[in-house]
Amino acid sequence: MTRSYGSARQSDTSLDTARGKIALTRDERKSGLESTCRPITPSSRLLLAAYRGAHVDLVGKARLCAAVIVACLAVAACEKDPADAVKIVPRVPATPISVVVSPAAVTTPGSGWHPEVCPPPPEEGTGPSSLTVTGPCAFEHHGAVSCESTGDDFIVTMVRPAADGAQLMIYLNVEHYTGPGSYEDAQMFLSVQHNTFIYRWSNDSFPITVGSGEAFAVLPTTRLDAEPLLIDCTGPMTNYQCSGRGDSAIEMTTEVVSGTLRCAARHGDQP
């Protein structure tokens, strides 16, 4: 219903709901301020306002959001990284601990190192052999030795007492044996067993001559090189069992043998 006041016309419709209204309401302005730096997702109300011709500066809001994000990242970058508080200490390789268990040895002026059980005591009596051994376990041997031909092996062994209840042994093997004659690949070791320790010097390939009737073996001057000390051993020196090897001055030594070993009479030999 309208009233006429002369030529003027006045509408009863409220200005707040007039279709021609284009300014933002108070609630819209508050909502716009709270949404700063949030993802811009236009609401239906904003679209309606835009439809009505509202000027919404979306470009300005986007620039403001970008500036705030950059500021936040700068603050975060200035904060100390917790990982920096962790101190990394370089690992120092552990120094291996070596425990050496060796029997006593004797060093005498001018003779160098030798086991305490060497040299062995002199033989009782004489015999047909004439073997000379020089080195840290030096001695001469004159007694008869054991000789045995088994298939393609000719084996010579000699055992005698050493000092302090120890035992000394020479073991010689001619492999690929076909009868008396000269061979180039004989094997030999000299060993001394004292309690649970074994000293050994050996040569895996040296020349030898087996005499007629297998009555003797002739050894040219032959070098026997030292092996590491054997420790915690059981069993005979030809078939021993040891728990390991120890460090000893023996590894710096050499035995030198030469001479003739005469075989003891064997069962079945002709007189």
**Among candidate residues 204, 219, 226, 231, the one with its CA nearest the CA of residue 257:** 219
Tens of pLDDT, residue by residue, the chain (271 residues) = 444 333 333 334 443 444 444 455 555 555 554 444 444 444 545 444 444 444 445 545 556 556 656 555 554 555 554 444 433 334 344 433 333 344 444 443 334 788 999 999 999 888 999 999 999 999 999 999 999 999 899 999 999 999 999 999 999 999 999 999 999 999 999 999 999 999 999 999 999 999 999 999 999 999 999 999 999 999 888 888 999 998 777 888 999 999 999 999 976 565 4
**What pLDDT score does 11 carry?**
39
**What pLDDT score does 181 carry?**
98
Q: State the maximum Cα–Cα separation within the chain, in Å, rounded to a whole number.
A: 174
**What pLDDT score does 28 carry?**
53
**What pLDDT score does 7 carry?**
38
pTM exceeds 0.75 for this model: no
Both tokens assigned to 266? 């064997």
**What pLDDT score does 67 carry?**
61
Please say whether the dihedral angle defined by the alpha carbons of residues 207, 213, 214 and 216, taken in this order, is positive or negative. negative
**What pLDDT score does 224 carry?**
97
Q: What is the pLDDT of residues 222-238, one digit of tens each?
A: 999 999 999 999 988 88
**What pLDDT score does 68 carry?**
54
**What pLDDT score does 211 carry?**
97
37-40 LR contacts (CB < 8 Å, sep 24+): 37/64, 37/65, 37/68, 37/69, 38/65, 40/65
Question: If you write DSSP's letter for every residue of 133-198 in order, what string do you get?
Answer: EESTT-EEE-S-BEEEEETTEEEEEEEEE-GGG-EEEEEEEEES--SSEEEEEEEEEEEEEETTEE
| Distance of alpha carbon 254 from alpha carbon 91, whole angstroms | 43
**What pLDDT score does 33 carry?**
46
**What pLDDT score does 27 carry?**
56
